[in-house]
Amino acid sequence: MTTPATDDPTAATGRTWTPWRVVVGFGTVSLAADMVYEGARSVYGPLLAALGASAVVVGAVTGAGEAAALVFRVFSGPLADRTRRYWALTIVGYALTAVCVPLLALTPELGAAGLAVAAVLILAERIGKAIRSPAKSALLADAAAQVGMGRGLGVHKALDQIGAFAGPLLVAGLIAWTGGLSWGLAALAVPGAVAMGLLVLTRRRLPAPDEPAAASTPEPGTRRPLPAAFLRFALGTTLCTAGLLTFGLISFHLVERALVPTAAVPLLYAGAMAAGALAALLTGEAYDRFGPRVLLALPPLVAGVPVLAFGSSLALVVPGVLLWGAAVGVQDSTVKALVADLVPRDRRATAYGVFAAVQGAGALVGGIGAGALYEHSLPVLIAVTVVLQAAALLILLPVVRRPAPTTASRG
C-alpha cells in the first residue's frame, strides 16, 4: 500500500519518517494541542457559569461546540479528498485552536459581552478541529494501517490523552495559585505555539503530495459511494454520542452541588483523560486481535456515565468521570479504526467528515436535551440515556459481528 510519505520524491533521501514515526509525530502534535483545548474544556462549565450562564446555556454552548467540531467535517472531509490539500487544512485547523483558546482569558474582563464572546471563541476553536480532523485522520490512517489500525490509532490517542491530562493539570495549578481562571487560560498559549512548531516539523518529515493541480483531482462522478455498513455504523455510534454527556454539564453539576471546588474540576478531567488513554490502548489492541466486536462495550460505558457522574457524593462521581473518559477514549480511537476499515482509502477523509457530521447532530441534540433534562429530572435523564444506548447496541450488532475488510485487501 502506498502512503503519503512514500509518494514523495524526497523519500529516497531518507528524510521521511517510518510509519511508526509518523504515528508518533502526529501523536506529539496532538499532545501539545490537547493541552490547549482540553485544558480550556476542563473549565468551560465554571467559566460559563461565572459569566452568567445557566445549566441550559452551558449545555447548549458545549453541545453546540461539539456539534460544530463534528458537523462541519461533512464539508472539510470531502474538501480534503477532492483537493488533496490535507496539510493545508490540518495547519489552518490547529492554528485556530492555538489562537482562540488563550483569548478566552480576556472574557471575564468584557462585562456583559463576556458570555457571548466566550461562546463565539469556543465555537471557533471547535470549528478549527472540524477543519483539521478529517485531513489529519486520513494522513494518520495511512501510517496506522501499516502497523495495525487499532494499535496505531490507539497509540496516537494515548499520546493525545497525555496532553489532555497535562493541560487540565496546568490549568488547575494556575487556578489554585492565582485564584482565578484567566491566567490558567492565558498560559495555554505556550503549548499552542509548541503544537504549531511540531506540526511544521512533522510536515517537513512527511512531505505528502497533498496539493496537486485541480486538474489532477478525480471527477466527482468517479468516486465510489460510502458502504451501507459504514452508514449503519455511523447511525449506531451517533446514538452513543447523543447519550454521552458533555464534561461541561458534568463540571457544572460538580460546582453547583458544591461537590468539589472549581480548582479541583480540572484534576478530575485530567483523570478522565488518563482513563481515555488506557481505554484507547486496550481497545485498540483488542480490535487488532479480536475484531470490531470490542466496540460493543461502548453503549454500556455511555449508559453508566449519568448514573454515577450525577451522584450526590464523590464516591459515585469520580468513577462516573473516569467512565466518561473511557467512553471518549474509545470513541476517538477504536471507533475511528473501524471507520477507516469500512471505507475505501481514497474516501477516508470524506467518510470521517460524514461520520463526524452525524455525530455532531447527536452531540447537539444530546447536549441541549441533557441540559434541559438535568434541570427537570435526573432519573428521566438517566432513563433516556439507557434507552438510547440499548437502541445503539441493536444497530451496531450486525455491523461489528462481521469481520472488517482489511486495508491491504482494498488497496
* Cell representation of residue 67: 456539534
pLDDT above 90 as % of the chain: 25
What Cα–Cα distance (Å) separates residue 375 from each residue in 243, 249, 385, 386?
Answer: 16, 11, 15, 18
Asked if residue 218 has pLDDT above 60, the reply is: no
Query: What totals of helices (H) and strands (E) does the chain contain, helices first?
Result: 19, 0
Question: What are the extents of the domains in the chain?
Answer: 18-210+227-402
pLDDT tens string 81-128: 888 888 899 999 999 999 999 999 998 888 888 898 999 999 999 999
* Rounded-to-integer distance, Cα 291 and Cα 230, Å: 15
What Cα–Cα distance (Å) separates residue 127 from each residue in 85, 88, 159, 161?
Answer: 17, 15, 22, 20
Of 93-107, 260-274, 302-316, 387-401, the least confident? 260-274
* Rounded-to-integer distance, Cα 28 and Cα 337, Å: 19
Model pLDDT, residue 117: 92
* Rounded-to-integer distance, Cα 298 and Cα 93, Å: 28
pLDDT band at 216 (very low <50, low <70, confident <90, very high): very low
Model pLDDT, residue 329: 87
146 vs 1, higher pLDDT: 146
Asked if residue 166 has pLDDT above 70, the reply is: yes
Asked if residue 75 has pLDDT above 80, the reply is: yes
Asked if residue 405 has pLDDT above 70, the reply is: no
Averaged pLDDT, 213-227: 55
Give the contacts of 251 (CB within 8 A, at least 6 positions apart): 42, 43, 44, 45, 46, 265, 268, 269
Q: Contact 66/364 with Cβ under 8 angstroms?
A: yes
In this prediction the pTM is: 0.70
* Cell representation of residue 147: 502497523
Model pLDDT, residue 181: 83
pLDDT band at 7 (very low <50, low <70, confident <90, very high): very low
302 vs 363, higher pLDDT: 302
| Residue 408 burial class via C-beta count within 10 angstroms: exposed 0-12, middle 13-18, buried 19 and up | exposed
* Rounded-to-integer distance, Cα 372 and Cα 360, Å: 18
Using DSSP's 3-state secondary structure scheme, residue 138 falls into helix
Average pLDDT across the chain, whole number: 82
Please count the CA atoms within 13 angstroms of the CA of 220 that sit on its side-chain side: 2
- The letter for the amino acid at 95 is A
Asked if residue 169 has pLDDT above 90, the reply is: no
Asked if residue 220 has pLDDT above 60, the reply is: no
Residue with cell 464534561: 247
pLDDT band at 403 (very low <50, low <70, confident <90, very high): low
* Rounded-to-integer distance, Cα 303 and Cα 386, Å: 5
Asked if residue 49 has pLDDT above 50, the reply is: yes
Model pLDDT, residue 402: 61
| Residue 221 burial class via C-beta count within 10 angstroms: exposed 0-12, middle 13-18, buried 19 and up | exposed
67 vs 286, higher pLDDT: 286
Model pLDDT, residue 297: 92
Model pLDDT, residue 15: 64
* Rounded-to-integer distance, Cα 170 and Cα 158, Å: 18
Q: Contact 138/92 with Cβ under 8 angstroms?
A: no
* Architecture label for domain 18-210+227-402: Up-down Bundle (1.20)
Model pLDDT, residue 245: 86
Instruction: Give the closest residue to 43 by CA, choosing from 182, 190, 201.
Output: 182
211 vs 56, higher pLDDT: 56
* Cell representation of residue 273: 483523560
pLDDT tens string 246-277: 887 888 888 888 788 877 887 888 888 889 88
Averaged pLDDT, 26-50: 87
pLDDT above 70 as % of the chain: 89
